[in-house]
Amino acid sequence: MSSSNPLRDPRDRRLPRIAGPSGLVIFGVTGDLSRKKLMPAIYDLANRGLLPPGFSLVGFARRDWENEDFAQVVHDAVKEHARTPFREEVWQQLAEGFRFVPGVFDDDDAFVKLRSTIEELDKARGTGGNFAFYLSVPPKFFPSVVQQLKKHGLSHGQGDSWRRAVIEKPFGHDLKSAQDLNQVVHEVFRPSDVFRIDHYLGKETVQNILALRFANTMFEPIWNRSYVDHVQITMAEDIGIGGRAGYYDGIGAARDVIQNHLLQLLALTAMEEPASFDASSLVTEKLKALRAVKLPKELGKHTVRAQYAPGWQGGEEVHGYLEEEGIDPHSKTDTYAAIKLEIDNRRWAGVPFYLRTGKRLGRRVTEIAVVFQRAPHSPFDATDTQELGQNALVIRVQPDEGVTIRFGSKVPGTSMEIRDVTMDFQYGESFTESSPEAYERLLLDVLLGEANLFPRHEEVEQSWRILDPIEEYWDQHGRPEQYTSGTWGPKAADEMLARDGRSWRRP
């Protein structure tokens, strides 16, 4: 290809990338994640022309379904949750490649059937032996599914064909279990064929952190300890645990959100510029940042965990966590967690990173706020700037994606008064294209074999290294605080920042 015409260069990342001949097997296809996210994402990819014509989808679960029953379930899920409009001709072509395999994970016959189904699809649809296995199942089944794939000769393709494993979160519940799980997975699949899902990395705004930092000149010179006072990373939910008591109790907010999503956001915010955007350069830099993360000495002062108490949310009276159906009334599981971390390197020495997440908080919002130091000297009278806060750059990850810069401006009039104003970039206003769903992006990357947006095992291990001592400390010290549902969390979290002379943002 001529490099003088970049639009024709296959390396041009602006061109739509279309997956080659392939198929996807979803274990746990009747589950919540599959219906709400995976099935719609597959349809949306097909609708955008990004799947190969013979793309095939195999569902595996404990139901006595025929292929037609399965197709009906996918149809309903797509109608309800897909992002792009329903088009009958796209649907018809896609649905021809649907197969259902009923079975339990320890049932050898089911895996024999799965194997013959894949062979049939290779012949009928030209999938070329290329299959990804998506483990959308409760984490305790990850090892057995992976071992069954090996036992039945499904984990490796013939010749040039590929087999890949996609593993949902949580990857382990502490460092030891993550290492054990990894050992099982890597006995079966090569590391480069394992795709660990952290769906936050598939979000447009999260990828934009790298564009913002490294495609511009104006941010990076001040992105360090000389100008940054501290960083706040927040993921707040306004819902409770819903019907997920079985999954959530015993796991809690820190393991569910900080270990993966928030530490990944921290790594992207704190890392150095990668040599390129290939997966290994990105991982190298994220890992360096994660390895430099240091826990504060006094965990009692610099971490807070809490549970939601009854309160009001969205005009409705809601239960406290301990009254939720299926929750042990003595449970110590955290539904809110806040921790202070430091990054022990030249760029960030002395700059705290405050991470917090919680359920039943004031609003659903995820953001990274880089808060800058105050001006070193002010020629204004103290009264002029009394209302002025600190400059901040806020990357809004969800729900209303964009970037806000907060700075001081003179209030119009004859007096001299300086107050905070904001400058806003909103995805919806600046671009006509709507952002693909995270799972669309990630599923396509799996089929393309692109690993940039999937955490490697070393990153998962580093995250557990950071979290394990905190979880152990919490285990040994008392019970979680309580916070009223619909508020911004426990008093102890406000006190934690107040001791450092700072306060949480109210997004």
Ligand X SMILES: NC(=O)c1ccc[n+]([C@@H]2O[C@H](COP(=O)([O-])OP(=O)(O)OC[C@H]3O[C@@H](n4cnc5c(N)ncnc54)[C@H](OP(=O)(O)O)[C@@H]3O)[C@@H](O)[C@H]2O)c1
Q: Which is nearer to ligand X, 31 or 362 (CB)?
A: 31
261 is catalytic: yes
Stretch that binds ligand X, among 44-52, 61-69, 404-412, 419-427 (CB under 6 A): 61-69
In the complex, minimum distance from the CB of residue 119 to ligand X, in angstroms, rounded to a whole number = 22
In the complex, minimum distance from the CB of residue 473 to ligand X, in angstroms, rounded to a whole number = 25
Quote the CA–CA distance of 401 and 398 in Å, as a whole number.
5
In the complex, minimum distance from the CB of residue 134 to ligand X, in angstroms, rounded to a whole number = 9
Q: Map the footprint of ligand X across residues 349-388, applying CB under 6 A.
A: none
CB-based contacts of 455, cutoff 8 Å, min separation 6: 196, 198, 201, 260, 264, 286
Q: CA torsion sign, 446 to 452 to 458 to 462?
A: negative
Binding status of residue 242 toward ligand X by CB under 6 A = no
Q: In three state form, how does the secondary structure of 61-99 look?
A: ECCCCCHHHHHHHHHHHHHHHCCCCCCHHHHHHHHCCEE
Q: Which is nearer to ligand X, 26 or 309 (CB)?
A: 26
261, 302, 377, 477: which one is catalytic? 261
Q: Map the footprint of ligand X across residues 105-124, applying CB under 6 A.
A: 105
Two structure tokens written together for 321: 């966590």
In the complex, minimum distance from the CB of residue 197 to ligand X, in angstroms, rounded to a whole number = 7
Among 168, 198, 229, 384, binds ligand X (CB under 6 A): 168
Among 9, 18, 48, 63, binds ligand X (CB under 6 A): 63
Please name which of 362, 371, 429, 439 lies closest in space to residue 402, comparing C-alpha atoms.
429
Q: Which is nearer to ligand X, 64 or 429 (CB)?
A: 64
Stretch that binds ligand X, among 13-21, 134-142, 331-339, 484-492 (CB under 6 A): 134-142
Among 39, 137, 236, 241, binds ligand X (CB under 6 A): 137
Contact between 427 and 205 (Cβ < 8 Å): yes
Buried-state track 218-247, b at ≥16 Cβ within 10 A, e below 16 = eeeeebeeeebbbbbbbbbbbebbeeebee
Q: Which is nearer to ligand X, 52 or 172 (CB)?
A: 172
Q: Is 69 within any annotated ligand binding site?
A: no
Quote the CA–CA distance of 331 and 394 in Å, as a whole number.
35
CB-based contacts of 7, cutoff 8 Å, min separation 6: 14, 15
Please name which of 119, 65, 75 lies closest in space to residue 96, comparing C-alpha atoms.
75
Q: Which is nearer to ligand X, 26 or 394 (CB)?
A: 26
Q: In degrees rounded to 5, what are phi and psi of residue 186?
A: -75, -15
Q: Is 359 within any annotated ligand binding site?
A: yes
Q: In three state form, how does the secondary structure of 307-344 look?
A: EEECEEECCEEECCHHHCCCCCCCCCCCCEEEEEEEEC
Q: Which is nearer to ligand X, 239 or 275 (CB)?
A: 239
Please name which of 110, 100, 99, 192 lies closest in space to residue 145, comparing C-alpha atoms.
110
In the complex, minimum distance from the CB of residue 235 to ligand X, in angstroms, rounded to a whole number = 13
Contact between 172 and 179 (Cβ < 8 Å): yes
Among 6, 20, 53, 138, binds ligand X (CB under 6 A): 138
Element (H, E) at 358: strand 353-358
Q: Is 272 within any annotated ligand binding site?
A: no
Q: DSSP letter at 151?
A: H
Two structure tokens written together for 398: 């969800």
Q: Which is nearer to ligand X, 41 or 369 (CB)?
A: 41
In the complex, minimum distance from the CB of residue 378 to ligand X, in angstroms, rounded to a whole number = 47
Q: Map the footprint of ligand X across residues 169-228, applying CB under 6 A.
A: 169
C-beta nearest to ligand X: residue = 31
Q: Map the footprint of ligand X across residues 12-51, applying CB under 6 A.
A: 28-34
Q: Is 502 within any annotated ligand binding site?
A: no
Among 62, 79, 151, 363, binds ligand X (CB under 6 A): 62
Contact between 374 and 251 (Cβ < 8 Å): no
Q: Is 35 within any annotated ligand binding site?
A: no
Q: CA torsion sign, 263 to 286 to 138 to 447?
A: positive
Stretch that binds ligand X, among 132-140, 271-279, 310-318, 449-457 (CB under 6 A): 132-140
Binding region for NADP(+):
62, 169
Catalytic positions, please?
Answer: 261
Binding region:
62, 169, 199, 203, 237, 256, 359
Interface residues with ligand X (CB under 6 A)? 28-34, 61-63, 104-105, 136-139, 168-169
Binding region for substrate:
199, 203, 237, 256, 359
